[in-house]
Structure 1
Amino acid sequence: MTDPASTPARDRVLVEARAVRKVFDLGSHFLERTRREVKALNDVSIAVRRGESFCLVGESGCGKSTLARVIMGLLPPSSGEIHFDGTRIDGLRHKARRPFHRRMQMIFQNPYASLNPRRTVRQTLEEPLRFHLPELSDAEVRETVERVMVSVGNDPTWISRYPHEFSGGQRQRISIARALMVDPEFVVADEPISALDVSIQAQVLNVMMDARDQRDLTYLFITHDLSVVRHFGTRVGVMYLGSLCELATTQALFETPRHPYTRILLSAIPRVSTEEMKPPGLPGEVPSAMNLPSGCVFHDRCPLANARCSAEVPRPLAQDDGTLVACHAVEEGRG
């Protein structure tokens, strides 16, 4: 076993989810004997290395945001473990977890809902500093707020204004500034550009990439837009119905997609040529997470499925290039 001290810093795992399951109990009707449950995550394991931009992709409802919230401690896992920099954190009480709150920050999807409309930008940005770094003087707090605002392309004179006075892109840059205020190591970005106009999505992405390079940040970036992943991500995890289908480097995923679901997702990316804009489509609808299919959760929509797929849950298997694929068809060479 490799000594962690001898592993290059950028190759070390910073955040790890091990066999995480999350079940939401919906209770039961008085006429029902069984309780209704939503199985949002099913034994999902990922390891995010220090300094990388790890992307999670998949259709809406596949469990991406749930996994992010479990990692951040906003939701407790039903089973499994969350580790940060070698320390298990999912079972820590609030006081014991507080030091990790400073090192782990989150950018939410909707900039119109994530900022308190009754607080000025100054109050919003100063709050995390005064909570996590109470030893800072008022002058040091003001200096830090101004420095971070400038670093993400914001005008420092905005600090006396309220959220309703800004556009969506400006609000999201303020949200990014809030996440960076306490100099975190790890940032979860939960679809941070999906609520923005296309014309300003690139601006916000550039701000995030600049912050990554300047601060040596580690990102967990959640999106359903694979064209964004191509430019932003270093590695990609593909999820379907609470399960991890494929995990690969960005280059390997786009050049040699292995899982049938990944191939269909990639085929749906718009192309310049009209001849290439004919994705095979996905038959049927996504099954309910309250009643998961047996075996592989994708088998009833998969063009390569056979009897084994409907009876046996596939295990993630490493390929020659290090890609992990959970698919019987890939294992048996049926693809």
Structure 2
Amino acid sequence: MSASPLVDIRGLEKKFDLSGSFLEQVSFKNGRFQRKQEAVHAINGVDLQVFKGEALCVVGESGCGKSTVARTIMGLLSPTAGEVHYEGKRIDTLEGKALLPYRRKMQMIFQNPYASLNPRMTIQQTLEEPIHFHHPEWSKADVLNKVQEVMQSVGIDPDWGSRFGHEFSGGQRQRIAIARALAVDPEFIVADEPISALDVSIQAQVLNLMMDAQESRNLTYLFITHDLAVVEHFGTRVAVMYLGRVCELAPTKALFATPRHPYTQALLSAIPRLEDGRPNYIRLQGEVPTPVNLPSGCVFHGRCPYANDRCRQEIPELFATDDGGQVACHGVEEGRL
């Protein structure tokens, strides 16, 4: 792993406004006008570094902000606060032609292969489009050769080119989506739950395909998932998110062997294992708070059995642990856990 990160996000925040127009925010109550503004706090100060050649997996339950982080890094959403850097250059403020080189270097594989392919385009047209866009100077023969090469690299028969997306199964469509991402020779790929919509029997094939592509093309992945078995198989490092914040970040083996944060411990205890002497399943109390009204202090304190007054008042920051990871927990920092 290189010393400087390929992708560096600092203090990333994203809010989605729920208030509507100014007139919808204003109400007349108790003889005076009042203005009420509400927002979904999807990401709340996320710091992440992705190093060249690794597969950083981001895990957490639904609604924790994983996909919002992915889309903000890719520029599909603009951050409310914070910065996104690629190879040391800030890119979240770039627009138009200045952003084009990064569009080619950074590609995304979406969750739903049934929705991410244009139904009006053949597979050949789907794969040719990004190549034409990023390499307008290429001849027709060069484009055709590139499409054929990338189709073969992901196990697609080049004869499929004349067919449409609806003629293929989910696994085949996801292979086509991976081929589309690889067509412009990217360095960094964000995969947003790319196998969750597929049959279990197909998931391993697509995962192995992505691992082979990483090795042969020297790719770097940010892999969004909620499947911890996939993380154990695929990830170099793991970032665990809860309610828009990273609560633990560690190398995969270290995280699965000795999870430090109480939420990570509860998450890993839920994995079914055929072993004697494994730790008992940890049942968390309460419900996940709403991201509209975030709790004060540590976002996990309402469900944590170890929370004290400091946890309820002060937001914990990530600090380095002795196993090469980072954890945001006052209890770990104070030696209580």
Q: What range describes the TM-score normalised by the shorter chain of this pair?
A: over 0.9
1:42-92 per-position Cα deviation (integer Å, ceiling 9, x unaligned)? 110000000100110000100111011110000111111000011100101
Structure 2 counterpart SS, 1:288: coil
Given residue 12 of structure 1, which amino acid in structure 2 is its aligned partner?
Answer: S
| Aligned-residue RMSD, C-alpha | 1.3
Structure 1 counterpart SS, 2:18: strand
Equivalent residues in 2 for 1:233-244 (5 A)? 233-244=235-246
Give how far 1:34 is off. Answer: 1.7
Q: Distance in 2 between matches of 1:277 and 1:204?
A: 32
Task: Identify the residue that residue 108 of structure 1 maps to in structure 2.
Answer: 110
1:283 maps to 2:275:
no
Which one is further off, 82-91 or 279-288? Answer: 279-288
Q: Distance in 2 between matches of 1:110 and 1:170?
A: 12
Task: Identify the residue that residue 17 of structure 2 maps to in structure 1.
Answer: 25
Q: Distance in 2 between matches of 1:12 and 1:155?
A: 39
1:165 maps to 2:157:
no
Q: Distance in 2 between matches of 1:299 and 1:147?
A: 52
Structure 1 counterpart SS, 2:15: strand
**Which of these residues, 201, 220, 223, is aligned with residue 221 of structure 1?**
223
TM-score by length of 2: 0.95
Give how far 1:11 is off. Answer: 4.1
Give how far 1:278 is off. Answer: 4.7
Give how far 1:274 is off. Answer: 8.0
Question: Any conservation in 2 of the 1:58–1:64 contact (CA below 8 Å)?
Answer: yes
Q: Distance in 1 between matches of 2:98 and 2:37?
A: 34
Give how far 1:282 is off. Answer: 1.7
Question: Any conservation in 2 of the 1:296–1:309 contact (CA below 8 Å)?
Answer: yes
Q: Distance in 1 between matches of 2:253 and 2:304?
A: 24
Q: Distance in 1 between matches of 2:8 and 2:142?
A: 34
Task: Identify the residue that residue 71 of structure 1 maps to in structure 2.
Answer: 73
1:219/1:295 CA distance change after superposition, 3 Å: same
Task: Identify the residue that residue 152 of structure 1 maps to in structure 2.
Answer: 154
Q: Distance in 1 between matches of 2:316 and 2:3?
A: 28
Task: Identify the residue that residue 331 of structure 1 maps to in structure 2.
Answer: 333
Given residue 228 of structure 2, which amino acid in structure 1 is its aligned partner?
Answer: L
**Which of these residues, 295, 317, 320, is aligned with residue 319 of structure 2?**
317
Q: Distance in 2 between matches of 1:230 and 1:275?
A: 20
1:297 maps to 2:299:
yes
Task: Identify the residue that residue 6 of structure 1 maps to in structure 2.
Answer: none
Give how far 1:283 is off. Answer: 1.3
Q: Distance in 1 between matches of 2:192 and 2:41?
A: 20
Give how far 1:276 is off. Answer: 4.7
Which one is further off, 269-278 or 292-301? Answer: 269-278
TM-score by length of 1: 0.95
Which one is further off, 186-195 or 278-287? Answer: 278-287
Q: Distance in 1 between matches of 2:303 and 2:61?
A: 14
Give how far 1:129 is off. Answer: 0.2
1:285/1:321 CA distance change after superposition, 3 Å: same
**Which of these residues, 261, 270, 276, is aligned with residue 272 of structure 2?**
270
Give how far 1:273 is off. Answer: 4.2
Percent identical residues: 65
Give how far 1:158 is off. Answer: 0.6
Given residue 206 of structure 2, which amino acid in structure 1 is its aligned partner?
Answer: V
Which one is further off, 173-182 or 25-34? Answer: 25-34
Which one is further off, 286-295 or 264-273? Answer: 264-273
Q: Distance in 2 between matches of 1:120 and 1:274?
A: 52
Give how far 1:12 is off. Answer: 3.2
Task: Identify the residue that residue 191 of structure 2 maps to in structure 1.
Answer: 189
Equivalent residues in 2 for 1:45-60 (5 A)? 45-60=47-62
Q: Distance in 1 between matches of 2:50 and 2:192?
A: 15
Q: Distance in 2 between matches of 1:272 and 1:329?
A: 31
Give how far 1:234 is off. Answer: 0.3
Q: Distance in 2 between matches of 1:10 and 1:50?
A: 7
Give how far 1:308 is off. Answer: 0.9
Which one is further off, 271-280 or 190-199? Answer: 271-280
Question: Any conservation in 2 of the 1:20–1:80 contact (CA below 8 Å)?
Answer: yes
Which one is further off, 205-214 or 312-321? Answer: 312-321
Question: Any conservation in 2 of the 1:271–1:277 contact (CA below 8 Å)?
Answer: no
Q: Distance in 1 between matches of 2:2 and 2:295?
A: 39
Task: Identify the residue that residue 15 of structure 1 maps to in structure 2.
Answer: 7
Given residue 139 of structure 1, which amino acid in structure 2 is its aligned partner?
Answer: A
* Number of residue pairs aligned between Structure 1 and Structure 2: 327
Q: Distance in 1 between matches of 2:277 and 2:248?
A: 27
Q: Distance in 2 between matches of 1:229 and 1:280?
A: 20
Which one is further off, 194-203 or 30-39? Answer: 30-39
Q: Distance in 2 between matches of 1:246 and 1:82?
A: 20
Q: Distance in 1 between matches of 2:2 and 2:217?
A: 13
